[in-house]
């Protein structure tokens, strides 16, 4: 009997995955220098340097690469190397010999972001080292500073002439948050685009760099069996969940200004939604893919503000338990106002007004300090039009569901019904279950590794274009303004226990529609 049809009561595994001969393309990035503004910060420590080290250790980037860290903290290059070594040991995979090679290519300048002299110093440093490391004049400026200095840094990069392209290419990477509403995102764009041209700008959304998020397009458009069903005729609704067990950590200063809608919905949730619902472009080309993602955001129905509480449920965690450990509530976290009303959870129903999705609700849900870490897209199909087994089995049956698990598990599962073996006629739910890494023993890239590599390659598919950012803000800004002004009908911030699935009011958002969240 083939592996695909094991006699397991709950789980049917797919057969062996055959990677050999599978069509794929390997890339090797251009040599380059990367200047990281905000080099003493959390992002550099936790994500950027561990990711660059992995790219170096695995030979994806060669010795023709170096990093210049820039930040206000007083430190020399040696101090930076020591700090980054500790960071990689804590957040990445360390290997002594590879580290020694990589560390020789790490440098640091301490500078004030608003000091014009600092940019002259950066320019001469680059010119000197570019000869040594043969980086061919290719430069990446990575802005990983607090957002309040984005405009200063990009403006002075322009004024100092560093934004221009001479011997090689020059690219600018900007981290989220990209603005905090439509107006501020537009102003940031004006500032950025007065120094750089749009093709030079790489706006990061690290969710797009996750393997299984990229796989949404492969699953949908490299197979014939799913796409004919991927529409209002067959799909009852879609649920997109990004649940975290982490709390606000040490980012209260930022989070108090952001809340879950700015932190997770404006970017990650919208981009996953766009991939799950977009039309296929004619070719897998960065601009065409980004066109299609933007069209989804453009087609999002504006919810009626005066009835927002029918469309959106907000929550904030109170003390509870995660994995058996007591954790404080949001307002007890360091740096959070005791009376804070900032939501750490949101569930929202959205509709895409186009032919494919008309009338199909898409439920988005994300929160901190939830029961378990889980990101998934779950597509629930319609019920059978008529159940001929009703009298035989004495009841209804559940719908078919296709679940694209993004993290921590990377799987695709299809839930369907089969006959329960034996003499009685009864049905059972089974899962056809594919583990994304099954049968693969090669290199895997984390989200930051992937997007950093793509930036060096000049591939913008996984970055957000100017219109992508602004369309997403245009959808969310009226909602944020309404909530923050506490307009009539604005949703309350409901409390939920840390370690739960979120506020019970979020269940009502679903039950009003006769549906339930998938909490498995
Ligand atoms: C970040 C948010 O963009 O994404 C964080 O600012 C959140 O609040 C994080 O924790 C989640 O990313 P991941 O990759 O851990 O799911």
Residue by residue, DSSP assigns 215-249 as: HHHHHHHS-SSSGGGSSTTTEEEEEEEEE-S---T
203, 268 Cβ separation under 8 angstroms: no
Look up residue 69 and give its two tokens. 């860290």
Shortest-distance Cα residue to atom 15 of ligand 1: 244
123, 161 Cβ separation under 8 angstroms: yes
Q: Does residue 376 line the site of ligand 1, with CB under 6 A?
A: no
Residue 233 and residue 357 in one domain: yes
Q: Which of 175, 197, 230 is the last residue of a domain?
A: 175
Strands 312-318, 345-350: parallel, antiparallel or unpaired by DSSP? Answer: antiparallel
Task: Give ∠ CA 191-196-198 in degrees, rounded to 5.
Answer: 95
| β-strand partners of 402 | 379, 414
Q: Report the domain count for the chain.
A: 2
Instruction: Say if 401 falls within a structural domain.
Output: no
Instruction: Say if 289 falls within a structural domain.
Output: yes
Question: How far apart are the C-alpha atoms of 455 and 63, rounded to whole Å?
Answer: 17
- Domain extent, residue 224, equals 208-383+465-511
* CATH code where residue 310 lies: 3.30.360.10
Concatenating the DSSP letter of every residue in 367-378 gives ESSBSS-EEEEE
Q: Does residue 263 line the site of ligand 1, with CB under 6 A?
A: yes
Q: Does residue 244 line the site of ligand 1, with CB under 6 A?
A: yes
At how many degrees (to 10) do helices 150-159 and 116-133 cross? Answer: 70
pLDDT at 25: 61
Residue 42 and residue 171 in one domain: yes
Going from the Cα of 228 to the center of ligand 1, the distance in angstroms, rounded, reads 33
Quick one: which atom of ligand 1 is closest to the CA of 251? 8
Instruction: Say if 341 falls within a structural domain.
Output: yes
Going from the Cα of 20 to the center of ligand 1, the distance in angstroms, rounded, reads 34
Structure letter (DSSP) for residue 4: G
Going from the Cα of 409 to the center of ligand 1, the distance in angstroms, rounded, reads 16
Nearest to 230 by CA among 295, 278, 191, 182: 278
pLDDT at 23: 57
Quick one: which atom of ligand 1 is closest to the CA of 375? 16
CB proximity list for 124: less than 8 A, separation 6 or greater: none
Shortest-distance Cα residue to atom 6 of ligand 1: 263
How does pLDDT run across 149-170, given as a tens digit for each residue?
Answer: 999 999 999 999 999 998 899 9
pLDDT at 24: 59
Shortest-distance Cα residue to atom 14 of ligand 1: 207
Residues shown for the chain? 520
Going from the Cα of 205 to the center of ligand 1, the distance in angstroms, rounded, reads 10
Question: How far apart are the C-alpha atoms of 494 and 183, rounded to whole Å?
Answer: 29
pLDDT at 27: 72
pLDDT at 199: 96
Shortest-distance Cα residue to atom 5 of ligand 1: 263
Residue 481 and residue 349 in one domain: yes
Residue 88 and residue 214 in one domain: no
Choosing from 10, 91, 233, 268, which is the catalytic residue? 268
**CA neighbours closer than 13 Å in the CB half-sphere of residue 493:** 20
Instruction: Say if 504 falls within a structural domain.
Output: yes
Instruction: Say if 190 falls within a structural domain.
Output: no
Instruction: Say if 456 falls within a structural domain.
Output: no
Residue 45 and residue 122 in one domain: yes
> Per residue of the chain (520 residues), what is the pLDDT tens digit?
333 333 333 444 444 444 445 555 667 899 999 999 999 999 999 999 999 999 999 999 999 999 999 999 999 999 999 999 999 999 988 999 999 999 999 999 999 999 999 999 999 999 999 999 999 999 999 999 999 999 999 999 999 999 999 889 999 999 999 999 999 999 999 999 999 999 999 999 999 999 999 999 999 999 999 999 999 999 999 999 999 999 998 899 999 999 999 999 999 999 999 999 999 999 999 999 999 999 999 999 999 988 888 999 999 999 999 999 999 999 999 999 999 999 999 999 999 999 999 999 999 999 999 999 999 999 999 999 988 888 877 777 889 999 999 999 999 999 999 988 888 888 888 999 999 988 888 888 999 999 999 999 999 999 999 999 999 999 999 999 999 887 666 678 999 999 999 999 999 999 999 999 999 7
Residue 212 and residue 81 in one domain: no
Instruction: Say if 396 falls within a structural domain.
Output: no
CB proximity list for 260: less than 8 A, separation 6 or greater: 314, 343, 344, 345, 346, 366, 367, 368
Nearest to 118 by CA among 147, 87, 91, 141: 141
38, 44 Cβ separation under 8 angstroms: yes
Instruction: Say if 242 falls within a structural domain.
Output: yes
* CATH code where residue 170 lies: 3.40.50.720
Question: How far apart are the C-alpha atoms of 152 and 150, rounded to whole Å?
Answer: 6
Residue 20 and residue 158 in one domain: yes
Residue 321 and residue 253 in one domain: yes
Query: What SS3 class is residue 185?
Result: helix
pLDDT at 16: 45
Structure letter (DSSP) for residue 443: -
Going from the Cα of 242 to the center of ligand 1, the distance in angstroms, rounded, reads 9
Quick one: which atom of ligand 1 is closest to the CA of 447? 14
Nearest to 520 by CA among 396, 431, 420, 419: 431
Q: Is 268 a catalytic residue?
A: yes
517, 380 Cβ separation under 8 angstroms: no
Question: What values do phi and psi take at 191, rounded to 5?
Answer: -65, -45
Look up residue 501 and give its two tokens. 């699935």
Quick one: which atom of ligand 1 is closest to the CA of 407? 16
Residue 234 and residue 132 in one domain: no
Q: Which of 123, 152, 175 is the last residue of a domain?
A: 175
3, 15 Cβ separation under 8 angstroms: yes
Q: Which of 130, 152, 175 is the last residue of a domain?
A: 175
Residue 171 and residue 214 in one domain: no
Residue 156 and residue 97 in one domain: yes
Residue 143 and residue 277 in one domain: no
Going from the Cα of 254 to the center of ligand 1, the distance in angstroms, rounded, reads 13
């Amino acid at each position: 009997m083939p592996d695909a049809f094991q006699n397991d009561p709950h789980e049917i595994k797919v057969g062996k995955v055959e990677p050999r001969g599978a069509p794929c393309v390997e890339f090797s990035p251009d040599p380059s220098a990367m200047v990281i503004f905000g080099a003493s910060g959390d992002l550099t420590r936790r994500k950027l340097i561990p990711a660059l080290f992995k790219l170096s250790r695995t030979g994806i980037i060669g010795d023709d690469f170096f990093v210049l860290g820039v930040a206000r903290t007083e430190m020399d290059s040696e101090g930076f190397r020591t700090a980054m070594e500790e960071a990689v040991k804590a957040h990445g995979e360390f290997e002594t010999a590879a580290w020694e090679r990589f560390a020789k290519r790490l440098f640091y300048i301490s500078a004030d972001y608003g000091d014009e002299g600092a940019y002259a110093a950066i320019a001469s440093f680059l010119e000197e080292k570019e000869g040594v490391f043969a980086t061919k004049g290719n430069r990446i400026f990575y802005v990983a500073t607090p957002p309040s200095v984005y405009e200063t840094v990009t403006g002075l990069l322009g004024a100092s002439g560093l934004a221009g392209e001479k011997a090689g290419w020059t690219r600018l990477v900007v981290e989220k948050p990209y603005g905090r509403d439509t107006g501020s995102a537009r102003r940031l764009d004006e500032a950025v685009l007065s120094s750089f041209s749009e093709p030079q700008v790489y706006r990061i959304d690290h969710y797009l760099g996750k393997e299984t998020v990229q796989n949404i397009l492969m699953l949908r458009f490299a197979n014939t069996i799913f796409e004919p069903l991927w529409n209002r005729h067959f799909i009852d609704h879609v649920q997109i969940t990004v649940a975290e067990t982490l709390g606000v950590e040490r980012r209260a200063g930022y989070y108090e200004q952001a809340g879950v809608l700015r932190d997770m919905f404006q970017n990650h949730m919208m981009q996953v939604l766009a991939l799950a619902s977009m039309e296929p472009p004619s070719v897998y080309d960065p601009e065409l893919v980004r066109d299609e993602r933007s069209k989804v955001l453009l087609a999002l129905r504006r919810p009626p503000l005066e009835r927002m509480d029918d469309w959106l449920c907000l929550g904030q965690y109170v003390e509870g338990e995660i994995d058996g450990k007591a954790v404080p509530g949001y307002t007890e976290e360091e740096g959070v106002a005791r009376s804070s009303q900032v939501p750490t959870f949101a569930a929202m129903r959205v509709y895409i007004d186009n032919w494919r999705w008309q009338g199909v609700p898409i439920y988005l849900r994300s929160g901190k300090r939830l029961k378990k870490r889980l990101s998934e897209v779950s597509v629930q199909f319609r019920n059978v039009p008529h159940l001929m087994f009703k009298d035989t089995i004495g009841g209804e049956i559940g719908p078919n569901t296709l679940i694209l698990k993004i993290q921590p598990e990377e799987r695709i599962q299809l839930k369907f019904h089969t006959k329960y073996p034996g003499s009685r006629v009864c049905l059972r739910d089974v899962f056809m279950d594919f583990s994304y890494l099954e049968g693969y023993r090669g290199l895997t890239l984390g989200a930051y590794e992937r997007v950093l590599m793509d930036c060096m390659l000049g591939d913008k598919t996984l970055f957000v274009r100017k219109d992508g950012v602004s369309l997403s803000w245009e959808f969310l800004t009226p909602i944020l303004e309404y909530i923050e002004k506490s307009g009539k009908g604005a949703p309350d911030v409901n409390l939920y226990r840390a370690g739960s699935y979120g506020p019970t009011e979020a269940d009502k958002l679903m039950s009003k529609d006769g549906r339930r969240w998938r909490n498995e």
